[in-house]
Chain A
Amino acid sequence: MAEVILENITKSFGKTEVVHNVSAHFHDGEFIVIVGPSGCGKSTVLRMIAGLEEVSGGNIKIGDKLVNNLEPKDRRIAMVFQNYALYPHMNVYNNMAYGLRLQKHSKVEIERRVQEAAQLLQLGEYLQRRPRQLSGGQRQRVAMGRALVRKPEVFLFDEPLSNLDAKLRHQMRVELKKMHKNLGTTMIYVTHDQVEAMTLADKIVVVNKGRIEQIGSPDEIYNAPASMFVAGFIGCPPMNFLPAQHSNGGLSLENGFIIPAKDLLIPSDTRQLIVGIRPEKIEFSHLQRESGWLEVDIDFIEKLGSGKLLYTTIGPQQLILSMANGDDRHITRGWIRFPAEALYFFSHQDGSLLKVKSS
């Protein structure tokens, strides 16, 4: 078990720098999820920790050891790949035993560890099978088993669930979380799926264009996003963004509607800003309301089973409302309100969060 420290990591391929100055401190036993859109450099960061890519600048420490120039095998890590990377010509047992044999463990020890992992992952009856005779979920388990038997200090996962179907993905997610609870080993997990990030992580690292946008617990990331990017990336459906301007007594939207803001302190030093609100925080009523409520047409409704999403537009901007079930009437119009305490304010220029003065 070990902590992982990244100090000003950069990575360049030729002249293009793809990871800029990434620093982070991951504590021992934490489940870290690095999340970001595809091509943001999150996998590159993971591969640098694994030693599969050289770092162009900065330091990586695992435990208290500087590992920049260590071979992958000497870093006491194990990695699970997106395509599982099982050795197709070896059976499940040998896939798991391969690394142990190279570490020169005794036959008895290898047998013990493989059986232990097989039992934990319910692979007992498949030990003699080749990878191609297994289903996607089973292959996934073998890949985990291969990482597990090494008893590493850090587990690295590179989008391990993205090749599974939705149901299996959920199941494996739960198992992974359990595994982490039992082992207590540091795990670093890369994904583009914000649901996986929210459900698995002790600490989320949101990466965009090779930079860390925010590091924090899932609650912090969700409730106090540091930028428009984080706010829009985490949460499903994503946060709504509406350009607005200061005006007398509130914030005026593009269609002229004024969000009353007498009692809320809005960032006063900027005239132009962007207002964000989560879909589930918008209040909706199909009864006519008066001041402070905006009348909107509902374009269409997406039913999710447990709830529904209403789509509407304000000026050119699409707005999504998330609602619980209940009223099954066909809704075509209604009145909405933006509760002042649920609003976020972002800079018009760079999307960074604007602080409200009083808080």
Chain B
Amino acid sequence: MLKRVHFKPSPLPYFLVAPQLLITIVFFLWPASQAIYQSMLVEDAFGLSTEFVWFNNFIELFSDGFYLDTLYRTLFFSAAVTFISLSSALIFAALADRVIGAATTYRTLLIWPYAVAPAVAGALWMFMFDPTIGIVAYFLDLVGYDWNHRVNGSHAMLLVILASSWKQISYNFLFFFAGMQAIPKSLIEAAAIDGAGPARRFWTIIFPLISPVTFFLLVMNIVYAFFDTFGIIHAVTKGGPAKATEILIYKVYNDGFIGLDLGGSAAQSVILMIIVIGLTIVQFRYIERRVEY
């Protein structure tokens, strides 16, 4: 049996994919190759001459203590953001799954943060926690805690983690919720008859069954924490104080556009590119295999 329809060869398919190809070439392949090329250049301070240095920029990066610090900081930041946003979204979805009455309202409210622009979200959290005028800082002060993310690096880190997680919870919630809704109700009922209470039903039935969603979200959240949190960090702390919240993506910006070390910055962005390619491969390779049931 023929598995697909066969047409006569025609140039039409090439015309149809041409716009997509063009976009990929102009907006990805070209800049990416430029970045790779740039990452092997060193420019003098006045921009008068450039020198091709092969992989010297990379070697320099990995022998640079600051860069390695940033790398570890990013790993910590990503792990924290991923954990907080995934676990809270899971709890919200599990609760929403049991809500019958005002389900739509509840869901809509939970989805809203996703529609807020990163910079706006950052500004919002910055105001709430502002040491002089912020409402949260005020309450913390009332209970005797001196909050100041402008001078305290740990405070700053905590703040950007919270802000970044908050932004991502909606997205995770949507996927978790859809995954839970897709589980046949009779499975839950069968477990109830078998004697499982709500908590046990969640951990032995629902959670294993949404594991494909969880895995997908895990990868998506790591990507988010690595790359999409720039706006929030820029609005809240600008990477400070004293680089306490400077993650890899922010360092690319800082070194390239503020420090004007174009070669080093390009080398960093190439490393980030490799990371995201790696995550994508993991996503595609394992998502269908590991989580089968």
> With contacts A88-B293, A89-B209, A89-B293 known, is A79 near B190, CB below 8 A?
yes
Residue among A83, A88, A146 making CB contact with B186, cutoff 8 Å:
A83
Cβ–Cβ < 8 Å partners of A87 in chain B: 187, 190-191, 205
CA distance A226 to B207 in the complex (A): 51
Mostly, the B contact residues are helix
Among A73, A78, A82, which residue has the most Cβ atoms of chain B within 10 A?
A73
Nearest chain B CB to A113 CB, angstrom units: 13
* Interface presence of A130 (CB below 8 A): yes
List A62-104 residues whose CB lies under 8 Å from chain B. 71-73, 77-79, 81-83, 85, 87-89, 98-99, 102-103
Q: Which of B18-26, B142-150, B194-202 contacts A (4 or more CB under 8 A)?
A: B194-202
**B194 contacts which of A82, A89, A98 (Cβ < 8 Å)?**
A98
**In the complex the two chains form, is A73's CB within 8 Å of B186's CB?**
no
Distance in angstroms between the alpha carbons of A51 and B190 in the assembled complex: 11
Using A85-B187, A88-B293, A89-B208 as known contacts, say yes or no to A102 and B192 having CB atoms under 8 A apart. no
Q: Kindly report which residue of chain B lies nearest to residue A94, judged by CB atoms.
A: B204
Q: Which residues of B contact A85 (CB under 8 A)?
A: 184, 186-187, 189-190
- Complex Cα distance A127/B152, Å? 59
Residues of A within 8 A of B195 (CB): 73, 99, 102-103
- Known contacts A83-B184, A85-B184, A87-B187; decide if A77 and B193 are in contact (CB<8 Å): yes
Dominant SS among interface residues on chain A: loop
| Bound CA–CA A98/B195 (angstroms) | 9
Measured between beta carbons, the chain A residues less than 8 angstroms from B205 are: 87
What is the interface residue range for chain A against chain B?
20 to 34
Nearest A residue to B196 by beta-carbon distance?
Answer: A102
Q: Tell me the bound Cα distance from A72 to B193 in angstroms.
A: 5
How far apart sit A146 and B192, CA to CA, in the bound complex (Å)? 13
The answer to whether B193 touches A79 (Cβ under 8 A) is: yes
Quick one: given A83-B186, A130-B293, are A98 and B209 in contact (CB under 8 Å)?
no
Which chain B positions have C-beta within 8 A of A72?
Answer: 189, 192-193
**CB closest residue in chain B, given A47:** B189
Please give me the residue from chain B that is nearest to A152 by CB atom: B193
Name the residue of chain A whose CB is nearest to the CB of B207: A89
**A91 CB, nearest partner CB in chain B, Å:** 10
Q: How far, in Å, is B191 (CB) from chain A's closest CB?
A: 7
Cα A99 to Cα B204 with chains together (Å): 12
Complex Cα gap A72–B188 (Å): 12
- CB of B209 within 8 A of CB of A73, answer no
- Expressed in whole angstroms, the Cα–Cα distance for A79 and B189 within the complex equals 9
Give Cα A83 to B183, complex, Å.
Answer: 12
Most central of B195, B196, B204, B205 by chain A CB within 10 Å: B195
Residues of B within 8 A of A (CB): 184, 186-187, 189-196, 200, 204-205, 208-209, 293
Pairs A-B, 4 closest by C-beta atoms = A99-B194, A89-B293, A73-B195, A85-B186
- Would you give 12 A-B contacts (Cβ < 8 Å), ordered by A? A52-B189, A52-B193, A71-B192, A77-B193, A79-B193, A81-B186, A85-B186, A85-B187, A87-B205, A102-B196, A130-B293, A150-B194
